[in-house]
Amino acid sequence: MNHDRIDFISSYCDGWCERCAFTARCSAFACRIAIEMCGDPAEGIELAVGRPQPVDGDEQRSEVSRVAEWEEGVVTPEEHTEFDRKEAARDERIAATPLSQLAYAYTMQSHRWLDDRFEPLRAAADPILAEALDIVMHDSTFVTVKLHRALDGRDRSRGSEEDDDDPVQNDWNGSAKIALISLERSEAAWRVIAQATSHDEAGSLTDAARDLRRLTLEEFPRAMSFIRPGFDEPWRCAPPSPSPD
C-alpha cells in the first residue's frame, strides 16, 4: 500500500492525469488504473486503497444496505419530495446566474468550433498549435463543470447545508481556482489558434475565455488564495520520475 498519497489532491486538479507529476500520490488515479486492470470497480478500489474497514465489527453488511436501511427507517416520502424540490430549485438558481450562463455558452461555442476543425487542424499542426488545440479541447467542458461545482457549493453554504465555513479554504473556492487556472491557459491557447488559423470565431473564443475568467474572479474573489493540496504546497514535491534504466 502507498501511504504517501495526498488527501483530496484530485478534487482540485485539472483532471489531466497524463500530464501530472503527482499521479503516484493520488488515490483517484490509483483507483482508476486498478479498476481498468480488474474490470470491476469494487475489486479495483480494494486493490488501490485496501479493503474497507468494518463498522462496529459487522463485516457482512455493505454500505449500500446500510444506506437503504437508513432511508427506509428515517427518510419519509414527504422528506424525499422536499429534498427533490430543494435540489430542483437550487439547479434553477445556479442555471440563472450570469456565470453559469456564460460558462455554458462558452462550452457550446467551443464544442461547435472544435467539432468541425479539431481533427484536420491537429493532424497538420506544428507543436505549438497542437498544444493549443489539446488545451482548449480538454478545458472546454472541464471549466463549466468546475464552475457549476463552485456555484453549487457556495449556494449550499449560504443555505447552511455545508460545514465548509472557512472563507478561503472551502470547496467552492478550490473548484473556482482550478477553473480560473484552466481559463487562463485556454485564453492563451485560443489566441495561438486565432493567430494560426485567422478564424474570427477563434478570436471571439479568446475573448469569451477572458470574459469568463473575469466574471469568475468577481464571483469568487478569494479563489486564487485557496491552497490546493500538493499543487500549491512546494514542500510536498512530486516524486522524481523513475529512471529509464
- DSSP structure class, residue 199: -
Q: What is the torsional sign of CA 39, 42, 45, 49?
A: negative
Residue 183 burial (C-beta neighbours within 10 Å; 0-12, 13-18, 19+):
buried
- Could you tell me where the DSSP H helices lie in the chain? 27-38, 41-49, 63-74, 77-96, 98-124, 127-158, 171-197, 200-219
Question: What would the grid cell of residue 135 be?
Answer: 488545451
For the chain, the first-to-last Cα distance in angstroms comes to 24
Taking the model in full, what pTM does it have? 0.83
pLDDT along the chain (245 residues), means of 10: 80 94 90 82 70 56 48 72 93 97 97 95 96 97 97 90 80 97 98 96 97 98 96 75 49
d(C-alpha 184, C-alpha 135), whole Å: 11
pLDDT tens per residue, range 186-229: 999 999 999 999 999 999 999 999 999 999 999 999 999 999 99
Cα separation, 170 vs 116, in Å, equals 39
